[in-house]
Amino acid sequence: MNLGINIADRDYFKNALNSDMLSVGYFQLDRSLQTTTVNFALSLKNTAGVTKGAVIIVIALDWWNAAINEINLPDGSLVAIVDSNTKILAHYPKNTTLIGNSIAQSYVESMQADSHFITDEQGVIRIFSRSTIYNDPHNNNLDIYIGLPVTDVLAQINHNFIISLTVFIIFLLLLTFIAYKLLKVSIFTPINNLTKATDSLANGVMPSEQNDTPNSPELKVLYQRFKIMAETRLATEANLKNKHDELTSLLSALPDSYLKINNKGDVSNIGGSFNIPDVTQSVNNLTLASFVTERNAQLILNNLPTSTSKSSSNLEFTLQSQTDIKSFEARINPMQTNHEFVVVLRDITQRKQNEEALHLASLVYGNSSEGMAITDENGIIFDVNPAFSKTTLFSKEEVINKTISVLSSGKHDKTFYQALWAELTSTGRWQGEIINRRKNGELYVEWLTIDTVYDDNNMPVRRIAIFTDLTEKKQADALIWKQAHFDHLTDLPNRLELKKRLNECFTRVENNAEQLVIMLLDIDHFKDVNDTLGHHYGDALLKFVSQRILESAKNAEFVSRIGGDEFVIVFSKIKEQHIKQIAENILLSLSSAIYIENEELFISASIGIASAPNDGENTEQLLKAADQAMYKAKVNGRNGFEFFSHDMREKAQMRMLLLKELRTAIELEQFELFYQPIVCLKDLHVHKAEGLIRWRHPEKGLISPADFIPLAEETRQINILGQFVFSQALQTLNDIKAHITNDFQLSVNVSPIQLSTPDSGIDEWGAMLNAANLPASSIVAEITEGLMVNPEALTQSRLKALVQSGMQLALDDFGTGYSSLAYLQEMDTDYLKIDKRFVDNINKGSQELVLCETIIVMAHQLGLKVIAEGIETKQQMQLLLEAGCDYGQGYLFSKPLPKEQFMSLLTTSQIIALK
């Protein structure tokens, strides 16, 4: 009977809870008594009428069977007590095999038919009657079936049976009533009181004392034990509540968060510092993902401990918000029941950051290229990093517990270190350059920074020294300085260093009234060496030149190479006659043969000389003056020297002004093309003309080409002017073709710059002729002799392209340059022009006439026509005509004319009338 049996699933129990009457059960094998029974149940209610439980009455079927078999019935009688399922609960005569079986279907059917007589298999006829013993409100019945034989036995039925049966029924009813009364007094009332007490206990209130104690000893013991249990429970609950309040306060004070979850991630409780995402939402509806995202929730669920034997599991994850990313640690602890777990979440963001910072600091300390040492406040070394050992050559073990002075070089006096410690003590920091000594005795310069670490009381506890070895930097700085101030090829001061030193010299000049003299030397035709032999020879030549200058000017303050092939020699406290002598010595030394590998080279130089303060009040002015003097030496034939004069400066200024005006003239189209007829000497017929560019300045009038053409060539503006001349010539040819004749030629001068500059535009001339619908032979390109011997591939290819296009070539100023017959033949030249200098002095029997006759004969033998320039007299024309010259050009026939006048001349007559 001590077994805890749950009868909540039994119908009679459930029916009793919903009714105020006794509820009847069915045939059953009682689990506590291990015998067949039929049970009754009656609900128990508290004072409020609320059902709190039920009392159960158990009647063993063995008792019923014994009771009905004690009744004296006629032979052949049958009696059966059945439940609502027609299960036999008791049987007469006694037959235990029938108990629990269903009563015969014929019995039931007979109760429903008109006849109640049943004949069994043995032919015995019985009359059957059914009566309900008890019917509860849920139509669960206890019925009794009685069958009596109606044959001989019927006659023997006597009064005793009736009495016995009646007595039995009355006894059964009386027994039921007495049992109910006894149960009410001894069980129902105490149980009702006990129910009220449990209600009070459920509400956390100690039940009140009861006046009526139960009579049953067992219930008295139960009552006493319940009272003790109630007192103990309430005390325990009060203690638990106090503990719970303490624990809640503790958990709220801690930074951790706590979630109670099942193995599906449903949250049943939370605690600690976590805020519920939605405060209006019931905790029962929250899941782990509500707090840590779906991905992290799955990670936690995948790491739930598999059994209670595993104390806990740990993992880390991150949560990202709109502003930052936080790191969390999750500790999962299993509970002992219900497959639940407690997840403790701790924000470890700061810890992670600290760990990362510590890791980075460790990496920096261990891998920094800067040496580091940690000392106490007095400089006793606690630790050093690998870079310290690499720089100082001291191992860590060799310096630990030693003072930092182990590195002292002895190059600083006591005052230096006293100042260092004074600043370090007062400010907590010192930095600067210091010379220390390595373990091997080698000195080195370092940049040292010392910082102080203080404790909570602002007392120094550590010094952190960080230093960088400046040895390589110092060497690199020295190299960089030298590269910035000295020429890498000759090891002489460069332009930057020259200006610095000259500025210092000017200071001395101002203070001491000294004279400062400089020579600017430029190697003549140095470019030819690079172009013909290569830059390797050019570099070697510059080294030889620098050596010879130094040898020839030993009393110079210094010699500088300022770029390319230019050198500057600086003197102070020197007289003018000595300067001339030194200049002559330098030129003489440079004129000697220079041998580079297997090549023998001869060079010359041009020198410009300027002095301060007369020729310049500062470095720039003095250098500019020397440059102008050197330029004049170049103009005067090179291989010489010139002193600066103030008229050079004026000419240079005029040249700069002219250059500025030249650019303006090109923009404003101030140029025009003049035309000078070329006359056939035999009949004075004009078949040709030369186009000559003129600059019509708005203020200065016509400016001579001799003044601006060299400047245009120097600045490459000649390319623009050359295109202008060619396009104007094409327009004029078209006008002549339209109004005068189809057979006419115009000559245009071609500058060497046009042929050597890639984007000069000369390559477009063929296309321009085609666009103008003019034959290429209508243009004669006049070139100088120097172009024929120019080795540049671009120049030679362009000359050949002009010839191949059909344009004709005229060699201008023949006799003033190379006058090479081989080049004349090779370039397929059409015309040869005798320079005006030969024509000016031509007379009968003169050398000039002989030379002209020779040129003419030679040209004719090569198939060239000859044009004589600068014919100004009839005598000159006649002598040239007699010498066989083909064409003449000069003021005797016409000066260069603007287009309108030239067109008018041709329109009037193509025959020149001599004056």
Q: What is the 3-state secondary structure (H, E, C) of 757-770?
A: CCCCCHHHHHHHHH
Residue 430, amino acid: W
For the segment 661-681, the average pLDDT, to the nearest whole number, is 94
Rounded distance, CA 237 to CA 232, Å? 8
Residue 390, amino acid: K
Q: What percent of the chain has pLDDT over 90?
A: 41
**Residue 279, pLDDT score:** 38
Number of Cα atoms under 13 Å in the Cβ half of residue 692: 19
Number of Cα atoms under 13 Å in the Cβ half of residue 868: 34
Q: Lowest mean pLDDT: which of 127-136, 322-331, 565-574?
A: 127-136
Q: Directed axis angle between helix 61-68 and helix 159-183, to 10°? A: 150
Domains of the chain: 11-157 (3.30.450.20), 254-352 (3.30.450.20), 369-475 (3.30.450.20), 492-644 (3.30.70.270), 669-907 (3.20.20.450)
**Residue 276, pLDDT score:** 43
The DSSP letter of residue 288 is T
Answer whether residue 822 shows pLDDT above 60: no
Answer whether residue 825 shows pLDDT above 70: no
Answer whether residue 782 shows pLDDT above 50: yes
For the segment 68-78, the average pLDDT, to the nearest whole number, is 80
For the segment 693-704, the average pLDDT, to the nearest whole number, is 92
Number of Cα atoms under 13 Å in the Cβ half of residue 128: 27
Rounded distance, CA 449 to CA 576, Å? 58
The DSSP letter of residue 685 is B
Please choose, from the candidates 519, 625, 616, the residue with its C-alpha nearest in 3D space to the C-alpha of residue 576.
Answer: 519
The DSSP letter of residue 276 is P
For the segment 823-832, the average pLDDT, to the nearest whole number, is 76
Q: Are 134 and 169 in contact (CB under 8 A)?
A: no
- Reported confidence tier of residue 588, pLDDT bands at 50, 70, 90: very high
Answer whether residue 821 shows pLDDT above 60: no
Answer whether residue 707 shows pLDDT above 90: no
For the segment 617-639, the average pLDDT, to the nearest whole number, is 92
Q: Directed axis angle between helix 646-668 and helix 619-635, to 10°? A: 80
496-548 pLDDT tens trace? 999 999 999 888 877 776 789 999 999 999 998 998 899 999 999 999 999 99
**Residue 623, pLDDT score:** 94
Rounded distance, CA 15 to CA 137, Å? 9
Residue 65 DSSP SS3: helix
- Reported confidence tier of residue 652, pLDDT bands at 50, 70, 90: confident
461-498 pLDDT tens trace? 999 999 998 888 888 888 888 889 999 999 999 999 99
User: Residue 497 to residues 481, 523, 571: CA-CA distances in angstroms?
Assistant: 10, 21, 16
**Residue 114, pLDDT score:** 42
**Residue 475, pLDDT score:** 85
Answer whether residue 281 shows pLDDT above 50: no
SS3 of 825-840: the string is HHCCCCEEEECHHHHH
Answer whether residue 252 shows pLDDT above 70: no
In the block, residue with structure tokens 């010699």: 559
**Residue 36, pLDDT score:** 83
Rounded distance, CA 163 to CA 145, Å? 18
> Going along 252-324, which residue ranges are E strands?
257-262, 267-272, 313-320
Q: Are 804 and 785 in contact (CB under 8 A)?
A: no
**Which tops the pLDDT comparison, 398 or 155?**
398
Rounded distance, CA 758 to CA 9, Å? 112
**Residue 515, pLDDT score:** 80
Q: Are 759 and 798 in contact (CB under 8 A)?
A: no
- Reported confidence tier of residue 64, pLDDT bands at 50, 70, 90: confident
Q: Are 465 and 449 in contact (CB under 8 A)?
A: yes
The DSSP letter of residue 369 is S
- CA torsion sign, 888 to 889 to 891 to 896? positive
Burial class (CB in 10 A: 0-12, 13-18, 19+), 236: exposed
Q: Are 821 and 800 in contact (CB under 8 A)?
A: no
**Residue 152, pLDDT score:** 52
**Residue 590, pLDDT score:** 95
Rounded distance, CA 11 to CA 302, Å? 44
| Residue 800 tokens, joined | 């050949």
SS3 of 517-565: the string is EEEEEEECCHHHHHHHHCHHHHHHHHHHHHHHHHHHCCCCCEEEEEECC
SS3 of 16-36: the string is HHCCCCCEECCCEEECCCCEE
- Reported confidence tier of residue 126, pLDDT bands at 50, 70, 90: confident
Query: Cis peptide before 334, with omega less than 30 degrees from 0?
Result: no
Helix residue ranges per DSSP H, 553-688: 576-591, 619-635, 646-668
Answer whether residue 265 shows pLDDT above 80: yes
Mean pLDDT of the chain, nearest integer? 84
Q: Lowest mean pLDDT: which of 22-31, 32-41, 119-128, 246-255?
A: 246-255
Query: Cis peptide before 613, with omega less than 30 degrees from 0?
Result: yes
Give Cα 885 to chain centroid, integer Å.
81
- Reported confidence tier of residue 115, pLDDT bands at 50, 70, 90: very low
In the block, residue with structure tokens 């006794």: 22
The predicted model scores a pTM of 0.44
Answer whether residue 309 shows pLDDT above 70: no
- Reported confidence tier of residue 201, pLDDT bands at 50, 70, 90: low
Question: How big, in percent rounded to 5, are the helix, strand and coil portions of the chain?
Answer: 45, 25, 30
Indicate the pairing of strand 78-82 with strand 51-60: unpaired
Answer whether residue 645 shows pLDDT above 80: yes
Q: What is the DSSP string of 395-458?
A: -HHHHTTSBGGGGB-S-S-HHHHHHHHHHHHHHSEEEEEEEEE-TTS-EEEEEEEEEEEE-TTS
- Reported confidence tier of residue 50, pLDDT bands at 50, 70, 90: confident
